[in-house]
Structure 1
Amino acid sequence: MNPDELAATLEEAGLSPYQADAFVTLLERGSASATDVAQASSVPDPRIYDVLRGLEERGYVETYEQGSLQARARDPAEVLEDLRSRADRLEDAADEIEARWTRPDIEDHAVSIVKRFDTVLARADELVRSADHQVQIGLTPAQFDALEDALGVAREGGADVKLCLFPETATEPSLPSTDRLAAACTEARYRHIPAPFVALVDRAWSCFAPNEHSANEYGVLVNDRTHAYVFYWYFSTCLWDVYEPVYSARDERLPRTYVDIREALRRIEPLLAEGKQVEVTVEGFETDSGRETTVSGTVTDVGYTGQSNTEGESVPIAQFAGKAAVTLESDGRTRTVGGWGAIVEDVEAVRITLEAAV
């Protein structure tokens, strides 16, 4: 850095142009009389005394009398500390500006568009950690590494975690070990082609971003049940239903808990067809009041818009895209139970536990 550049930088750090020029001159000379400093710099003779005293007050130089006013640069330790402190504050300010620019106040918006994938990943980490009931997430193995701890927290907290892994590019990646998947999810599946990142938490929050190799980098953060429902169907049809598990903590033994009424219907309908009495416990909300409720009873009927599979095979999830409900007899009362966004049913189910089928 040449003297002019150093002087310009010192001006940015708060010195006046004359102070910066005089200080650089003293650095080069070590010590000099006030008159010599004025002659070697751009400081006018009448101003040199005020300039040197200003530098002395700020700790940059010290002055002394030796026939005439003399000045010398002080030990730079204090000056360096001041400059580095300013640099740290500027760096912090730059980071804060970047954060405020890329991540608006999410709490005040139903939908936020952000510019960086890191913002989406950071928000997904926060939301997954706070999950109460369920998480559906599609991500690459590298993104799994970044969110593994958050997924583990959700799992330990009792959330049902569905995880779809897919490659970042056409190259097949190494998948996490079974032990890592067991700690992070309830069930994992693998899709062999790349896909966008998506995370859904408790039917309310959705985080979405295109594949990292997309031409445009952006993300969408949604705090809205209706929008989240659209992402749920994307996850169910494109990332989940057509792929086989690579890990699952589930088995067919009862009792078994479902967080999706459509998956519960897949299991309950064949049991009813066999003439079995199906007992369930439903945790959810009364649709007319919004109050939490738990209902236990016997399933008397199931209903959905699609067609049953008469050959005994599993009904595709798309067949449940319309109405999906079960009818319960509980304490002499008939109640209808729907799934996500239930309106006409008595209860919106959050968890359905299939207790017994006899």
Structure 2
Amino acid sequence: MEKAELAATLETAGLPPYQAAAYVALLDLGAASATAIAEASEVPKPRIYDVLEGLESHGYIETYETDSLHARAHSPAAVLEDLRDRANQFETAAEEVEDRWEQPKLESNRTSIVTRFQTVLERARTFIEDAEYQIQLSVTPEDFEALRPQLVDAHQRGVSTRVSVHTDGDTEPLAPEAFEGATLEVRHRALPAPFVALVDREKTCFSHHPDSHEQYGVLVNDRTHTFVFHWYFLTCLWENWPTVYSDYGDSFPVTYVDVRQCVRDLKSLVDEGATPRVHIEGFEVNSGDDVSVRGTLDRAQFSGVPESQDPVERLSGQVTLTVTTDEGETITVGGWGAMLEDVEATRVTVLSVPTTDATAESDLFKRP
């Protein structure tokens, strides 16, 4: 490193320009008079005494008197320690700049693009830690293990979690016991897929599969964009794939965050005359006010889709619950994105299904 470059680096580390130049000159001279140091460093002679005093106060040099003021450099140990400390600070600052650039704060209606998968995974971990009622995940077995502690905590809080585990054709999914205590249902997609995390109908983390030629991630804190990712999750990552683990109970109450699944399970019972007792939680479609009511389920229906079509095709149609509340009011209840119903449900709890001649409570638990 040239003298000028070394002096410039010392300036960057915090030394004033004259002090940096004088110190570099003194390193070459070893010990010298103030006048000689001024000449070697091109520091103006009237300034050299103040410059040397400043270097001495930093512990870089010591001065002494003979026939005139002289100086010599101290052992560089203190200087080296100082420089290395500053280097560590620069390295830490560089990492912080990268982290802040990669992990922007997601404000309301905010979408951000990031370049590292680790950023997407960390943000998903944060979202899961704050989840209140619903999580949908598309992950590799390795990603699931990385998020498992947060998923276990969410499951214990009563958050409804559904996981699509994807593998390549030669890789077996995790054993069912790996999912115990961490999720409600797991399906296995025997094809590569993107990483997707959807939390509470508001937050999305998305990243291409590592083998994709396009490597970037998307972080979303927006209901509308998350709704689009939700339909991608249902149609491509969930409906067509087999269940490999289920934690559905076989007794009441039974809780749903997906109204379509609720209708699938209840429709035949209601059509046969059953009158399930339900607790609806959500918000009014028109006002956005919170709703929490109990009542009797009178009707569960898919609209606009023939009964003979595949259940996946029912995803495109309207799905509605009709409930008579305990106060005597009749309300219609839809799922995520409801526009025509009175209430968008975030949670439907089936409290009981009174038996009739044609139905039994156990019929509800005969899921496909």
Matched to 1:228, the amino acid is T
Cα distance in structure 2, aligned partners of 1:252 and 1:315: 26
- Does residue 273 of structure 2 align to residue 278 of structure 1? no
Cα distance in structure 2, aligned partners of 1:222 and 1:235: 15
Q: For 1:164-243, list aligned pairs within 5 A.
A: 164-167=164-167, 170=168, 172-173=170-171, 175-243=173-241
One of 330, 335, 339 as aligned partner of 1:343: 339
Residue in 2 that maps onto 1:356:
353
Cα distance in structure 2, aligned partners of 1:333 and 1:10: 78
Aligned residue pairs total: 352
Runs (5+) with no aligned partner, structure 2: 356-368
How big is each residue's C-alpha offset from its partner over 1:90-132, in whole Å with a ceiling of 9 and x where there is no partner? 2232223223333333215432223332322222111111111
- Percent of pairs identical after alignment? 47
How big is each residue's C-alpha offset from its partner over 1:205-264, in whole Å with a ceiling of 9 and x where there is no partner? 112121123223222222222222211111111111111122211145443211100000
Specify the SS of the correspondent of 1:184: coil
Matched to 1:341, the amino acid is G
Is 2:271–2:299's contact at 8 Å kept on the other side of the alignment?
no
Cα distance in structure 2, aligned partners of 1:87 and 1:156: 45
Aligned CA distance change for structure 1 residues 342 and 253 (closer, same or farther; 3 Å):
same
How big is each residue's C-alpha offset from its partner over 1:136-188, in whole Å with a ceiling of 9 and x where there is no partner? 01112222233222222211211000011113xx4644644544412321111
**Residue 37 of structure 1: how far off its partner (Å):** 4.2
Aligned CA distance change for structure 1 residues 218 and 206 (closer, same or farther; 3 Å):
same
Is 2:117–2:217's contact at 8 Å kept on the other side of the alignment?
yes
Worse-superposed segment, 145-154 or 21-30: 21-30
Q: Give the CA RMSD over aligned residues.
A: 2.7
Specify the SS of the correspondent of 1:123: helix
Matched to 1:111, the amino acid is T
Aligned CA distance change for structure 1 residues 45 and 329 (closer, same or farther; 3 Å):
closer
**Residue 3 of structure 1: how far off its partner (Å):** 5.7
Is 2:22–2:43's contact at 8 Å kept on the other side of the alignment?
no
Cα distance in structure 2, aligned partners of 1:4 and 1:217: 42
Aligned CA distance change for structure 1 residues 327 and 80 (closer, same or farther; 3 Å):
same
Residue in 2 that maps onto 1:126:
126
Is 2:205–2:217's contact at 8 Å kept on the other side of the alignment?
yes
Specify the SS of the correspondent of 2:59: coil
Aligned CA distance change for structure 1 residues 2 and 66 (closer, same or farther; 3 Å):
same
Specify the SS of the correspondent of 1:138: strand
Cα distance in structure 2, aligned partners of 1:17 and 1:88: 22
Specify the SS of the correspondent of 2:353: strand
Specify the SS of the correspondent of 1:199: strand
Cα distance in structure 2, aligned partners of 1:308 and 1:270: 15
Residue in 1 that maps onto 2:42:
43
- Does residue 70 of structure 2 align to residue 73 of structure 1? no
Cα distance in structure 2, aligned partners of 1:111 and 1:82: 42
Specify the SS of the correspondent of 1:183: coil
Cα distance in structure 1, aligned partners of 2:274 and 2:113: 50
Matched to 1:336, the amino acid is T
Residue in 2 that maps onto 1:13:
13
Cα distance in structure 2, aligned partners of 1:108 and 1:208: 18
Cα distance in structure 2, aligned partners of 1:268 and 1:44: 89
Residue in 1 that maps onto 2:317:
322
Cα distance in structure 2, aligned partners of 1:110 and 1:13: 38
Cα distance in structure 2, aligned partners of 1:300 and 1:315: 25
Is 1:278–1:356's contact at 8 Å kept on the other side of the alignment?
yes
Specify the SS of the correspondent of 2:101: helix
Aligned CA distance change for structure 1 residues 45 and 272 (closer, same or farther; 3 Å):
closer
Is 1:255–1:356's contact at 8 Å kept on the other side of the alignment?
no
Specify the SS of the correspondent of 2:71: strand
Q: TM-score, normalised by structure 2?
A: 0.84
Cα distance in structure 1, aligned partners of 2:42 and 2:216: 52
